[in-house]
Structures are given as C-alpha cells and as structure tokens.
Amino acid sequence: MKNFARLAIASALASSLVVSTNFTAASASDPVDGAGSTWSQIAVDQWRADVARQGLVVNYQGVGSTAT
C-alpha cells in the first residue's frame, strides 16, 4: 500500500510538471479581450485602470440586457 501511495504521488507530481511547462507567459503588450455583464462592468473598469499602470491592456465590453 505504501508503494502504491508513493507511485500515485510521484505520478501526480510528474504530470503537474508536464502541464505547468506547456504554458508561456503573456507579454504586457498582449491585450486581454472580454465581454460580459454590464452589472460587473464598473468593477472591471476599475480593475482595467489598476492594471493599465502595469502595462496590461484589457478590453471589456458590457453586453448584458441593459447594454446600450
């Protein structure tokens, strides 16, 4: 049973390393585009202003039922 537990842990660690190495970091110049609720747009707009200081461009469009 101990060997099975060790094998399971080793397999989980190995697979997490493989998964985590397949991702590349986005550069600050890559814009993030999204759309969603107009209800949350105020919070998203504040977040956009906060991350813009770090060079991240976020484009968000409110498309809920109250969108104009």
Dihedral sign for Cα atoms in the order 36, 67, 30, 52: negative
57 vs 61: CA distance, rounded Å: 13
The predicted pLDDT at position 20 comes to 46
DSSP 64: S
Distances (CA, A) of 21 to 9, 12, 30: 19, 14, 20
The tokens describing 13, both together, are 């660690």
For position 11, what pLDDT does the model report?
A: 64
CA 6 vs. chain centroid, Å, equals 32
pLDDT digits (tens, 9 = 90+) for 12-68: 666 655 444 455 565 657 899 999 998 889 999 999 999 999 999 999 999 977 555
The predicted structure's pLDDT at residue 30? 87
Q: Which residue has the higher pLDDT, 8 or 45?
A: 45
d(CA 56, CA 29): 7
